[in-house]
Amino acid sequence: MAVGVNKAALLAFGLGALATPALADDTGNTVKIGVVAAESGSFVSAGHTLPAGVSLAVKEINDAGGVKVGDKTYKIELVKRDDRTDIGTAVAATQELVRDVGVKAIFGSESHDFTLAMTKITQPAKVLHFAGNSTLDTILTDASVAPGGADHYLFQTEPREFQRSGSTARGVLSLLQPMVDHPIKKSVIIAGNDATGQFLSSYYIKALKAEGQEVPDIIFYPPDTTDFSPILTRAKSLNPDVVHFWYNGDSTLTALPQAVELGVAPSYFLFGVDPGIWKERSLSADVPVAMSCVPVCWGESSNPKAKAYFQSYFAAGAPKGVTSSVSLLYYDYVHVLAEAWTKAGSFDPDKVVDALMTLHHKGVVSDDLSFNAHHQVTHATEVCAAKPGGDITCSMQQPPADAPM
Amino acid sequence: MEIFIQQILNGLSIASVITLIAVGVTLIFGLTGIINFAHGEFLMVGSIVTWLAVSNGWGFPLALCAAVVVVAVMGFALERGLFRFTLDLPTNGFIVSLGLIVVLQHIVILFWNANQKSIPHPLTKVWEVGGVRIAAVRAMVIIVTALVVTLTFFVITRSRYGRALRASVEDRDTAALMGIPVRRYITGVFVFGSALAGLGGALLIALFPITPFTGGTIVMKGFAVALIGGLGNLTGAVAAGLILGIVEGFSAGYGLSQWTDAYSFALMILVLLIRPQGLFGGTSGPRIT
């Protein structure tokens, strides 16, 4: 028995000795950040952009020498986890990153309800958490973001939903109207029936009504739907001027050809579909089709900084996806975080939060990225429209100042 | 009225794929006693083979043939390598099929990732008749299914092979004594059912994108249809497939569209409560009429 115990002690000692250099290196020269994203599963088109965007920013920072914090310079080490578009996996991955890996910050996920669940782990652990989910608006309040509040370390890297929906609705209608030979009065929304779809569409319907649209129906579909013909036929029976496909880019691209086959409407809007994909896949329709990017398009942008960013992004090996631009809800903020560490001169999360609240970063998305008192950013959204078999026009749409009543 | 007719046509195309699966399920269960829950993954493999072939420049008809052949060969290998050892222990066979789901999904993910895959529609023509639009690709799926199911029906009911097959289901030992190669027939039925899944996979990817997880939903509906029609009943599988497809189309078109799947399974529960043997009567073997 004693021999067994001794062997176990020796083994533990040996393993401990093996682990020591890595531990020293971790605390000495590197700082770890984590990404939790859907690199597989039904939300992969948006999910795979997170690790790609964050990786690019980390590479740029490390190639430039690293991040200076106090007297020392650190390299950033990125630890990625695939949530498989599964909320349980996302929570488990967050637990691991926070408890076992010891990351200082987490980026993601892109699924709204997943992020809400992840904050229950990141916030008590005082881990900085950046997510481009507008649902965070429901929990980011004066009290929750205050020091000692439940979400003091949580930051929303996408505009509030009334802003994003408002700018999108205005852009879609203003771009489509000149391409349709009659006034656009009636809109039907087709949305995925999950937490994200329900949340986002509740704002979008208000935004459309604020633009004077009659919205007779929101038709929800199960998230993994591939045969849209029954619900498209239902939409057709409502005689819409525009059908708005809201919000999953992959589903949208599956639904559009079926809608064109069935002749559902004289115009369509595809939320979260980049004109780059429209061109890459040689898509076409015999009616005008509007598209929106979250937040800036990679295929055809009016944003002067976008071209250089997306060249670097795709050159680093990221695939050209439906929603590759979602990466910008994360890329800029790795640089913001690095600046905040430098400004705070410390990794102390409270000091870093204070630094984040005073930063004004010149990013790709905007020349002045800053967080408001509720830890949220504000910036424009790009909307484009393709004429039947013709050119694509894009424009940046500024967000409305106030939510529609 | 044209909206109503459109909804019926919409339902028929997806009903065709589900019917192919249900016919496969019902034949395999009815004639061999094997409950193969991985049948949906056979369909998924058929879709992947079609996608690979079309991506490499093959025409759709050739890709469809490749899918049928590959999945049939896969069915042969799995029946000989796995399921034949569980014929006397159906529960073990059922567990084996569940394991096979995970294995097949992961093999596909390993080699071709988990992303959605699609092919260009092999037929792009759309006809309009009185406000109703009929896509040629959907018409093709309905026609191919009708032909294959009709052929299957006649083989099972009229051919010498079909009669021998049904005799071996009625009494395996006596059939063997009469010189019928029962073991070989079981393999043959499994291979044929697998080929139908391969065909279903090729037709499905002609209509919609697929993922490595597509088989799960489809096979559940296939089993629902087989149960509604009556397990082992070919006529029942066809009729129930049509009923389910149209119910799904109507539920999405006129009811709560997000509850489409729930309607299908609610129908299955209702039928099984009222008629436990299914609408057309199920057997442990084939009942054609």
How much is the pLDDT for A216?
Answer: 94
Q: What is the pTM of this model?
A: 0.83
* Helix A328-344 vs helix A349-356: crossing angle, to nearest 10: 110
Q: How far apart are the first and last CA of chain B?
A: 34
**Hey, what amino acid is at A222?**
P
Q: For residue A236, which residues of chain B lie inside 8 Å, CB to CB?
A: 3, 6
Tens digits of per-residue pLDDT, A36-60?
Answer: 999 877 777 788 899 999 999 999 9
Q: Which is nearest to A160 in space by CA: A189, A142, A136, A131?
A: A136
**Hey, what amino acid is at A49?**
T
Query: Please, which residues have CB within 8 angstroms of residue A117's CB and are 6 or more apart in sequence?
Result: A87, A90, A91
What's the half-sphere exposure (Cβ side, CA atoms, 13 Å) at B73?
Answer: 7
How much is the pLDDT for A386?
Answer: 94
Total beta-carbon pairs less than 8 A apart between chain A and chain B = 77
**H/E run at residue B51:** helix B39-55
Distance from the A334 Cα atom to the nearest Cα atom in chain B, whole angstroms: 27
Q: Which residue carries 């691991």 as its tokens? A: A96
DSSP B255: S
Asked if A254 lies within 8 A of B209 by C-beta distance, the reply is: yes
Q: What angle do CA A27, A29, A34 make, to 5 degrees?
A: 70
Helix (H), strand (E) counts: chain B:
11, 2
- Using CA atoms, how far residue B220 sits from B25, B38, B78, B214, in Å, is 11, 10, 21, 11
How much is the pLDDT for B286?
Answer: 45
How far apart CA B113 and CA B103 sit, in angstroms, is: 14
Q: What angle do CA A104, A109, A112 make, to 5 degrees?
A: 130
Asked if A261 lies within 8 A of B133 by C-beta distance, the reply is: yes
Asked if B258 lies within 8 A of A222 by C-beta distance, the reply is: yes
Q: What is the mean pLDDT of chain A?
A: 90
Q: What is the ipTM of this complex?
A: 0.85
How far apart CA A194 and CA A192 sit, in angstroms, is: 6
The pLDDT-based confidence of B285 (bands split at 50, 70, 90) is very low
DSSP B32: H
How far apart CA A155 and CA A375 sit, in angstroms, is: 5
Q: Which residue carries 């994200």 as its tokens? A: A196
B58 in contact with A, Cβ within 8 Å:
no
Asked if B258 lies within 8 A of A220 by C-beta distance, the reply is: yes
Query: Please, which residues have CB within 8 angstroms of residue B142's CB and are 6 or more apart in sequence?
Result: B12, B13, B16
How much is the pLDDT for B282?
Answer: 67
The pLDDT-based confidence of B28 (bands split at 50, 70, 90) is confident
Distance from the B115 Cα atom to the nearest Cα atom in chain A, whole angstroms: 7
Please say if the pLDDT value at position B284 is more than 60: no
Distance from the A182 Cα atom to the nearest Cα atom in chain B, whole angstroms: 21
Tens digits of per-residue pLDDT, B201-244?
Answer: 999 999 999 989 899 888 888 888 888 888 878 888 899 988 88
B95 in contact with A, Cβ within 8 Å:
no
- The pair of three-digit structure tokens given for residue A200, joined into one six-digit string: 């986002």
Asked if B10 lies within 8 A of A229 by C-beta distance, the reply is: yes
Tens digits of per-residue pLDDT, B85-94?
Answer: 888 888 888 8
Q: Which chain A residue is nearest to residue B112, measuring alpha carbons?
A: A40
DSSP B117: B
Of A40, A193, A250, the CB nearest to B258: A193
Query: Please, which residues have CB within 8 angstroms of residue B184's CB and are 6 or more apart in sequence?
Result: none
How much is the pLDDT for A142?
Answer: 97
Of A224, A231, A233, the CB nearest to B217: A224
Q: If DSSP states are collapsed to H, E and C, what string results for chain A? A: CHHHHHHHHHHHHHHHHHHHHHHHHHHHCEEEEEEEECCCCCCHHHHCHHHHHHHHHHHHHHHCCCEEECCEEEEEEEEEEECCCCHHHHHHHHHHHHHHHCCCEEEECCCHHHHHHHHHHHCCCCCEEEECCHHHHHCCCHHHHCCCCCCCCEEECCCCHHHHHHHHHHHHHHHHHHHCCCCCCEEEEEEECCHHHHHHHHHHHHHHHHCCCECCCEEEECCCCCCCHHHHHHHHHCCCCEEEEECCHHHHHHHHHHHHHHCCCCCEEECCCCHHHHHHCCCCCCCCEEEEECCCCCCCCCCCCHHHHHHHHHHCCCCCCCCHHHHHHHHHHHHHHHHHHHHHCCCCHHHHHHHHCCCCECCCCCCCECCCCCCECCCCEEEEEECCCCCEEEEEECCCCCCCC
- The pair of three-digit structure tokens given for residue A106, joined into one six-digit string: 């987490």
Q: With contact defined as beta carbons under 8 Å apart, do B209 and B223 qualify? A: no
How far apart CA A332 and CA A365 sit, in angstroms, is: 8
What's the half-sphere exposure (Cβ side, CA atoms, 13 Å) at B103?
Answer: 11
Tens digits of per-residue pLDDT, A288-318?
Answer: 999 999 889 998 888 888 999 999 999 999 9
Asked if B257 lies within 8 A of A234 by C-beta distance, the reply is: yes
Asked if A230 lies within 8 A of B7 by C-beta distance, the reply is: yes
- The pair of three-digit structure tokens given for residue A378, joined into one six-digit string: 């504000």
DSSP B258: G
Please say if the pLDDT value at position B82 is more than 70: yes
Looking at chain B, the whole-number percentage of residues with pLDDT higher than 70 is: 97
How far apart CA A273 and CA A278 sit, in angstroms, is: 8
Asked if A234 lies within 8 A of B253 by C-beta distance, the reply is: yes
At B36, give phi and psi (nearest 5°). -100, 95
Q: Which is nearest to B13 in space by CA: B242, B268, B234, B247?
A: B242
Of A44, A193, A222, the CB nearest to B115: A44
**H/E run at residue B122:** none
Of A40, A226, A233, the CB nearest to B7: A233
Using an 8 Å CB-CB cutoff, list residues of chain A that contact chain B: 40-42, 44, 193, 219-222, 224-227, 229-231, 233-234, 236-237, 250, 254, 257, 261-263
Average pLDDT over residues A204-226: 92
Task: Look at A19 and A237; give whichever has higher pLDDT.
Answer: A237
Q: With contact defined as beta carbons under 8 Å apart, do A122 and A129 qualify? A: yes
How far apart CA A396 and CA B2 sit, in angstroms, is: 41
